[in-house]
Chain A
Amino acid sequence: MLSRTAENLYWLARYMERAETMARLLEVGYRMGLMPSAAEGYRNEWASLIAAAGAAQGFAAKFGEEARQRDVETWLFFDRENPSSVISCIERARHNGRSVRTALTTEMWDALNGAYLELPAIEREARSDALLPKLCDWTKRQGALLRGTTETSHLQNDGYDFLNLGYYLERGDNTARLLDVKYYVLLPTTDMVGGSVDTYQWTTLLRSLSAFRAFHWAYGGEYTPRKIAHFLILNPACPRSLLHCADQAAFHLDRLSRAYGRTTFAHDRVREIKAELAEADVEDVIGEGLHEFLTRFINRNAALGQDVADGYLFGPQ
């Protein structure tokens, strides 16, 4: 397949997954904002969302230092100046799809284009407190539609592998960032750990990853940072865990190497990442420091993305 086609498919999936993450982040913020008494002494949760989204600079430049809910909503969902806002992501995903129409099935294009065509109506809706959860649901539904049509209609060929590489690289990155918000950004003071605010934040994090019930199913009992870190980092059964994402990326890279009869640096890198995650236990992670561990993962994951690009000739040479 054309290298450009592969690149477009890969980014199409990444943007769609990112749109979903932004919606999930907004959901976290919304639920945290519903806390009965936001105790003083820790930072405003909306500000931490912006930090987690990696968009603090752009936000501050446009809206100032104080993070108000409406502004954060605008920035993370509607604002075209923010390249990672939900609307920007959907438009970019659709543009990528449009450039490779022939590599998508009609059903996939319908899902992608359908989301795009609904954007103007969404932008016209009056802003209210009831709107945000609707927007988050809508975004997740669009992601699910594309994912579903991909599974049921796309040939399981190299294009399918590039789509999935995009999905899993982006998802691993996103899970790491969300976990990092909770652990590092939201709760900088240790005396709050274990309090009711703490518990509420953990459940919100799990809910936003659609993993609340799954967590109980797998672990039961109290929330502890160890259990949750294990669940979201090391548990291969959790579809958003870092290990699962690395596993899947390795799986699709292996399929590519079989189809093309050659391996790339990406293959070596993904094996390293996967091996470390598979062999680590939660004490290793905590011992290194969760934030340090996650930062290291995010960097290696980004390097893997670059390896994929280099290995399959993305972009003009």
Chain B
Amino acid sequence: MWVQQRGRTIISFFNEMYDGDALRRAYVPVMDWVRRTPQDVIAQKKQEAEALFRRIGITFAVYGEGGDTERLIPFDLMPRVFTEREWRKLERGVKQRARALNAFLYDVYHRAEIVRAGVVPGDLVWRNEAFEAAVVGIDPPANVYSHIVGIDLVRTGPDEFFVLEDNCRTPSGVSYMLENREIMMRMLPELFRATRIAPVDDYPERLRRTLASVAPAKCAGEPVIVLLSPGAFNSAYYEHSFLADQMGIELVEGQDLFVQGEYVWMRTTEGPKRVDVIYRRIDDAFLDPLCFRPDSMLGVPGLMNVYRSGGVAIASAPGSGVADDKAVYTYVPEMIRFYLGEQPILKNVHTWKCADPDDRAHVLANLAELVVKEVHGSGGYGMLVGPASTAEQIAAYAERIKAAPEDFIAQPTLSLSTVPTFVDSGLAPRHVDLRPYCLVGREVHLCPGGLTRVALREGSLVVNSSQGGGVKDTWVLAD
């Protein structure tokens, strides 16, 4: 692996398939299939899967590049497998985190007890860009702010999971989880017949029920739910239309909605129709030009007034972003202790804040060993993976940190686990992460599966699709 090739620190990666020479239990059925199936059949299935993806139109847009704006995410036929026992622990940890994050959000928009208690610094909350003063004191239905929590995890050992980041606003990628599974079931039906793999296809129905459970009190009867999308040019548009379709709800854009009286309405060919719950996939800033960015064409003027007076529910609630900041992240274990009185089940990665002089000194002295990220960045853009970078790249990055230290945090280079992946030469280990999706309504539910992203380049630790990452189906085997 690259770390060894470069003659630096030798890190041993956790291999999810092999324990030394012994095949781990989770991978017995799938390896059995690989051994029985001729190479050319596998190659053909790979091609068929790719053709299917393109036909269905599952593409994503890459920003900042010319030419073909719709691309395919590479799909790997080899699944990533968990046993039920492994999954159960993970499930408890993710749900615990989702509950704590929601408790934190309620708290910071009400009495902010956690700040009063001196656990979280006030600056981190009130001077946070994602903090929305406009929603202070509002009680969202069921007191839930973040209805879909996507938690990015990496595995480093048999029972060791670290949380990389929390996504409380509008985590994307769930359509890949569902479509990956669809395609796997079409490609490998014999494996699904012979193995008990927990189904994920009830996710859209669960999501719909979660959204219905947080309908405002003013809503009488079956709530009308819509998915608010920025439109067909958005990179996640496929997912928006897919989810709306699967849930049987309307996919709307800002221009389809308007406010009149106490409610939000959508324009239909039969006249206005009242809307009770908005699952929005646009950022806070664009929701309502009268409340947030006045130049936004994507939102609905007056929406926030209706929200304040309890005429509509918005998922996730405006202001949810304050909980998934990379700096707030470091306090999540404290939140779990503070609100739930429990010990955190999932670990946080140790994080150095470059704004802190001592931390900064440590980071600058050890850049070659660390991963450095922009506090407000996402998508794997603008990060430095120290062990995989040249001396010049590191020096250049050090200058950026010195220029604006508060914009950067650093973490140790984690030994991300590997999962076998089809590459040109056959099966080879590649690094993966995991994003499971936790639904929070009146109940909390974790879908048994998730999105496994894989770094397809040998040795690479960057799994983002915009940086050459691919995806895999994620299986949870029933005992």
Interface, chain A (partner B; CB < 8 A) = 1-6, 95, 98-102, 106, 109-110, 113-114, 117, 158, 162, 256, 260, 312-313, 316-317
Contacts and interface: CB of A to CB of B under 8 A. Distances in A.
B231 A99 contact: yes
Interface string B244-266: 11000011110110100000001
A99 B232 contact: yes
A117 B256 contact: no
B237 interface: yes
Contacts of A109: 57
A158 B269 contact: yes
Contacts of A6: 269
8 contacts: A4-B255, A6-B269, A99-B231, A101-B57, A101-B238, A260-B269, A312-B269, A316-B255
Contacts of A162: 269
A317 B255 CA distance: 8
B88 interface: no
Interface of B: 54-57, 231-232, 237-238, 241-242, 244-245, 250-253, 255-256, 258, 266-270
A2 B241 CA distance: 14
B232 A2 contact: no
Contacts of B245: 101-102
B54 A313 contact: no
A110 B255 contact: no
Contact of A102 (B231, B241, B256): B241
| Central interface residue in B237, B245, B266, B269, by most chain A CB within 10 Å | B269
B241 A110 contact: no
Nearest to B227: A102
B256 A2 contact: yes
B232 A3 contact: no
B231 A2 contact: no
A95 B232 contact: yes
Given A99-B231, A102-B241, A1 B269 contact: yes
Contacts of A100: 251
Contacts of A316: 255
Contact of A4 (B237, B242, B253): B253
A317 B254 CA distance: 12
Contact of B241 (A101, A106, A114): A101
Given A2-B256, A113-B55, A260 B237 contact: no
The 7 closest A-B pairs by CB, nearest first: A101-B241, A102-B245, A3-B267, A99-B232, A312-B269, A316-B255, A6-B269
B89 to A, nearest CB: 37
Contact of A313 (B56, B241, B242, B267): B267
A222 B44 CA distance: 58
A101 B56 CA distance: 11
| Central interface residue in B232, B245, B255, by most chain A CB within 10 Å | B232
Nearest to B55: A110
Nearest to B297: A316
Contacts of A5: 250
B268 A117 contact: no
B241 A3 contact: no
A80 to B, nearest CB: 14
Contacts of A317: 258, 267
Contact of B269 (A3, A101, A117): A3
B57 A2 contact: no
| Central interface residue in A101, A106, A158, A316, by most chain B CB within 10 Å | A101
Given A1-B269, A313-B267, A117 B54 contact: yes
A275 B135 CA distance: 59
Nearest to A4: B256
Nearest to A113: B57
B55 A3 contact: no
A120 to B, nearest CB: 9
A119 B395 CA distance: 46
Given A2-B269, A113-B55, A260-B269, 14 more contacts: A2-B266, A3-B268, A4-B252, A4-B256, A98-B232, A98-B241, A99-B232, A101-B245, A102-B244, A102-B251, A113-B57, A117-B54, A162-B269, A313-B269
B250 to A, nearest CB: 6
B57 to A, nearest CB: 6
Contacts of B241: 98, 101-102
B270 A260 contact: yes
A102 B251 CA distance: 8
A102 B380 CA distance: 31
A2 B237 contact: no
Contacts of B269: 1-3, 6, 158, 162, 256, 260, 312-313
A304 B269 CA distance: 17
Contacts of B231: 99
A2 B250 contact: yes
Contact of B256 (A3, A95, A106): A3
Nearest to A112: B57
B267 A2 contact: yes
B68 to A, nearest CB: 9
Contacts of B270: 1, 260
A99 B232 CA distance: 5
Contacts of B232: 95, 98-99
A126 B294 CA distance: 51
Nearest to B270: A260
A114 B55 contact: yes
Nearest to B250: A2
Contacts of A114: 55
A98 B267 CA distance: 20
A132 B62 CA distance: 35
Contacts of A1: 268-270
Nearest to A110: B55
Contacts of A260: 269-270
Nearest to B237: A98
A6 B55 CA distance: 24
A259 B45 CA distance: 46
B268 A2 contact: yes
A162 B270 CA distance: 13
Nearest to A260: B270
Nearest to B244: A102
B248 to A, nearest CB: 9
Nearest to B246: A102
Contacts of A313: 267, 269
A4 B269 CA distance: 9
